[in-house]
Amino acid sequence: MEESEDVPKDFVKLKSEKLSVDEVSELVVSPYCGAVSLFIGTTRNNFEGKKVIHLEYEAYTSMAETEIKKICRNVRQKWPSVKHIAVHHRLGVVPITEASVIIAVSSPHRAESLEAVMYCINTLKASVPIWKKEIYEEEYSWKENKECFWANSEK
Amino acid sequence: QVSVLYFARSAELAGLRCETLSVPREITSLQLWEEIVKVHPRLAVIRDQVIFAVRQEYVLLGDQLLVLQPGDEVAIIPPISGG
């Protein structure tokens, strides 16, 4: 590990393979940081009484990466002590209980990384062009985040 | 001529993910929507839920005047559900 070169970095990846918590947290670990905070979004097996078989994600990939990088820039403005940020989002089929998104943030002390992780996931849900389809036994449904900044929340 | 990208429910309704369309260089976002619905009438049902992304910037459907260049990417963005 090059201790002299710990320049803050953003690691943004959209991929169809299974996500790894170890991999994402190792990206942000730093000798200057006493805290790494993590969020893992996992797939639930039910929605409104219906059994969910699996989820399928699609993305406007180039814009999604750009929007996530904008979120990282905003994080650094709000919490300047944040060191590294990693956001990995899975695309394609995600089986139940597997992770669809992992966000990790490192900072010298814990308050900033905890707050930054929460900000990242909340803002991702409001503004990043990624869509989730829930597959049930007899049908499917395109989900809509209530955070989505332009859609009606009454459904 | 712009590239129109369709995602999620809009791709299902339009029956495709991407195509080239000829539209006026200056056009409001609402007029652009109406041009697209002429080609894919089934999209009309989601009019109140979608926005555009023009050159990867979000644009609401309305009076905003767009100045389009040939080859610009215009994406139909249904309500998102990432995370």
pTM of the model: 0.92
The H or E element spanning position B35 is helix B29-39
Torsion (CA) B51, B53, B58, B61 in degrees, nearest 10: -40
Distance of CA B33 to the CA centre of its chain: 6
pLDDT band with cut points at 50, 70 and 90 for residue A5? low
Instruction: Kindly report, residue by residue over A123-151, the tens digit of the pLDDT.
Output: 999 999 999 999 998 899 999 999 998 87
Average pLDDT over residues A54-78: 97
Rounded Cα gap, residues A154 and B53, in angstroms: 23
For the CA atoms of chain A, what is the radius of gyration?
A: 16
The token duo for A41 is 């979004």
Q: Which residues of A touch B81 (CB under 8 A)?
A: 125, 130-132, 142-145, 148
What is the domain partition of chain A in residue ranges? 9-136
Contacts of A82 (CB under 8 A, 6+ apart): A8, A75, A76, A105, A106, A107, A112, A113, A116
Instruction: Kindly report, residue by residue over B19-69, the tens digit of the pLDDT.
Output: 999 999 999 999 999 999 999 999 999 999 999 999 999 999 999 999 999
Instruction: Kindly report, residue by residue over A23-49, the tens digit of the pLDDT.
Output: 999 999 999 999 999 999 998 898 888
Is B63 within 8 Å of chain A by CB? Answer: no
Domains of chain B, earliest start first: 1-75 (3.10.20.30)
A131: three-class secondary structure by DSSP = strand
Is B81 within 8 Å of chain A by CB? Answer: yes
For chain A, positions 49-108, list CB contacts with chain B under 8 A: 57-60, 62-64, 66, 89, 100-101
Domain A9-136: give its CATH architecture.
Answer: Alpha-Beta Complex (3.90)
